[in-house]
Structure 1
Amino acid sequence: MIDFFHPHVGRNKHRHYILTLFFIIFILFVGSFGFVLLDDLLKGAAKNSSYQAIAELISIGIYSLLTILTLFIAANWIHKRPFRTFITAAPKFRWKLTFLGAGLVSASIIFTFSIAMLFTPENFIFNPVSIRVFLSFFFIAILTIPIFAFVEDIFFRGFLLQWVGKFFKRPLFTIIITGIIFGSAHFANPEMDMNPVVVGLGYLLFGMLYGYTVQITNGIEFVFGVHTANNLLLAFFFSYEENGMGTDLSVWTMEYSNATFLITLFGMNLLWYVALLVIAKKRGSALFE
């Protein structure tokens, strides 16, 4: 199979990646004016803070679609290669890997959060969630969160990974650098207020873990499934007060503690990763076809 890190189709010199980056920045800068206007309109029509958070999710989803369109245009016009080559080295999108990733991380989340709730129940506060608000959030999140996750994956672990890969023959250096960039891009997230060192280190390590998983699977499909299911389940069921989405949108609010955070974040990611390695060893190359 073709090496996803080093595509050999189309135009892939540094100047093409630089031009694509500036094209993305320009389009998103122009689009940001519309994003701000749309966000203000939607939030102005919202009844309360919960609906304002839902409105923001809609705005982010639309802005993410613009980003995907920009990358699609750049792939075809600047790089002269199929948009698919930023996603996978396979001839077509491998949905089975996406569903496998989503299934493994879902099982990992259920297991690790059950353990955390068993041993540290004081850190989980049940929310009397409004069914109407929750269902509104549920349907909007189902539509928008996968789009946002796809944008992050295709940019950091598609476009950027392939560009950085031009500097290094060994994937390890590419994985480390793109993982650091991915993690650093999340340092402005509200969750960093909980514990900048622990949370920041988690972002960096799992940015690298996602990159290494892309190397194993030769595309972003599996990681996209992991990323999407992770974000959806945490948004629906477990939220920190610092997450910026509001705590009355999820079933439980979590009070931060280093123990709970380490058990849930590191535990759940370790489980799905080990499961992937075991399945890959048993199935061999057939898993990635």
Structure 2
Amino acid sequence: MFIAQAYKGNNTWWRVLITTILTAGVFIINFIMYFLMSKEDLDKVYQKMNEFPNNLSLLMNLLPFVFLLALLFLLVRGLHERSILSLTTSREKVDYKKILFSFGLVVFMTIAGFVVSYAVDNSSILWNFNPLKFAILFLISILLFPFQIGFEEYLFRGYLMQQIGIIAKNRWFPLLVTSVLFGVFHSANPEVAKMGFGVMFFYIGTGFLLGIMTLMDESLELALGFHLGNNLMAALLITSDFSAIHTDAVFRYSGVENPVDMLNEMIVSIVIVYPIILFIFVKKYNWTNWGAKLTGKIEISNTHK
């Protein structure tokens, strides 16, 4: 089992505490600062961030994840004395075809959805393509987004899900906790301030989707592919003034901010698009025994003792 892979390492409480604080600390500090600052101060911070050129701002946002992912891997190997493979999958090796399939599925569905939306009403969607700026954006995105999504997946769906799972001795509790944490730790994103905390249902719902993928497939591969495809499309396809990260994407949304419309689109993703994605995975990978895989108990096998 994926969660039981944690038994292959040294799980002394102080090791878990050190790893969690050092790696999740960036989210914790961000979360605390967000709630301590007034709305006026937050607006000043967001305004200051917007003063940087888009590509420079993206680079500044993504570069720290290179070091954070390296730190997480170092702590798992050195402090917990177990392999990165055990943090990735319960199988003998990583299946890169699953990562590519999940990535391709998200890219296809995102582009298809955009094409339909553009055909229905493109009055607020402007052509924003600048060859040089987009080339730089593409290079930054291809090189650094894998580290950003890799850190989030290995931290939430990998390390924390496994460590919480072997403490709780079940699967439903780590799924619940990591999904909520994934949403809560994104609460400082600018779109939350613009749209209100209703958007948190989208983040938490996405956390549940990624967690279900991980538990049903006993690995991070599908979650890694999905997360990478989603973030790349968010950066490369269309940008807006209320996005978490402003980019020199191909298109730009210029419409008036309407929290209700944007929340409705997010609800559609959770209620319609996410189940479709899971259905495709069910058919392709023959997922069965949902109850046991999502809520079952965690037991120590002889190979994990």
TM-score interval, smaller chain: 0.7 to 0.9
Residue of structure 1 in register with 2:154 after alignment: 154
In the alignment, structure 1 residue 204 sits paired with structure 2 residue 204: yes
Aligned equivalents of 1:99, 1:62: Cα separation in 2: 23
SS at match of 2:108: helix
SS at match of 2:219: coil
Verify the 8 A CA contact 1:99 1:225 in the aligned structure 2.
Answer: yes
Residue of structure 1 in register with 2:61 after alignment: 60
Structure 1 residue 265: deviation in Å? 6.0
Verify the 8 A CA contact 2:89 2:220 in the aligned structure 1.
Answer: yes
Between the aligned residues of both structures, percent identity stands at 21
138 and 16 in structure 1: CA distance in 2 versus 1, 3 angstrom threshold: same
Aligned equivalents of 2:60, 2:247: Cα separation in 1: 20
Aligned equivalents of 1:235, 1:265: Cα separation in 2: 20
Please show how residues 112-131 of structure 1 align to structure 2 within 5 Å. 112-122=113-123, 124-131=124-131
Could you tell me the TM-score, scaled by structure 1's length? 0.81
- Across the aligned residues of Structure 1 and Structure 2, the Cα RMSD in angstroms comes to 2.9
SS at match of 1:243: coil
Could you tell me the TM-score, scaled by structure 2's length? 0.77
Residue of structure 2 in register with 1:188 after alignment: 188
Structure 1 residue 184: deviation in Å? 0.3
- How many residues end up aligned between the 2 structures? 263
Structure 1 residue 25: deviation in Å? 6.4
Verify the 8 A CA contact 1:157 1:214 in the aligned structure 2.
Answer: yes
Aligned equivalents of 2:194, 2:275: Cα separation in 1: 22
SS at match of 2:184: helix
Aligned equivalents of 2:78, 2:26: Cα separation in 1: 15
Residue of structure 1 in register with 2:292 after alignment: none
Verify the 8 A CA contact 2:216 2:287 in the aligned structure 1.
Answer: no
Structure 1 residue 188: deviation in Å? 0.7
Aligned equivalents of 1:277, 1:219: Cα separation in 2: 15
Verify the 8 A CA contact 1:235 1:250 in the aligned structure 2.
Answer: no
Structure 1 residue 172: deviation in Å? 1.5
Verify the 8 A CA contact 1:84 1:92 in the aligned structure 2.
Answer: yes
The amino acid of 1:9's aligned partner reads: K
The amino acid of 1:54's aligned partner reads: N
Residue of structure 2 in register with 1:144 after alignment: 144
Verify the 8 A CA contact 1:237 1:251 in the aligned structure 2.
Answer: yes
Please show how residues 159-178 of structure 1 align to structure 2 within 5 Å. 159-178=159-178
SS at match of 1:203: helix
Structure 1 residue 283: deviation in Å? 11
Residue of structure 2 in register with 1:40 after alignment: none
SS at match of 2:112: helix
In structure 1, the gaps of 5 or more residues are 30-48, 285-289
Residue of structure 2 in register with 1:19 after alignment: 18
The amino acid of 2:276's aligned partner reads: L
SS at match of 1:252: strand
1:152-210 Cα shifts (integer Å, max 9, x gaps): 10011111111111232331221011100000001110111342243111111111111
In structure 2, the gaps of 5 or more residues are 29-49, 290-305
The amino acid of 1:148's aligned partner reads: Q
